Amino acid sequence: MSEPLPWLIEHSIQIAWDYLERTGEIVDAAETSKFLLKSVDEMVLKGERRKLMLANRAIDAYRLRKLRIVS
């Protein structure tokens, strides 16, 4: 049985956050949390319901965004 959407979103963001925190990639906590929430929300609205896929894609999007900002 699947998790309710708020839990799915929360857990997906928490997985992404924990990973980014462990790797030292979080520079601005407020900006990072807003970005992860927006990223996961957009994917959920498109129909993605796999927690690890949501987390991994949010991490990838965060890293790509950081690369664009630096370049």
pLDDT bracket for residue 48 (50, 70, 90): very high
pLDDT bracket for residue 68 (50, 70, 90): confident
Contact status, residue 68 vs residue 32, Cβ threshold 8 Å? no
Q: Is 47 left (phi over 0), alpha (psi -120 to 50) or beta?
A: left
pLDDT given at position 71: 67
How much is the mean pLDDT over the chain?
94
Counting Cα atoms < 13 Å in the Cβ hemisphere of 71 gives 6
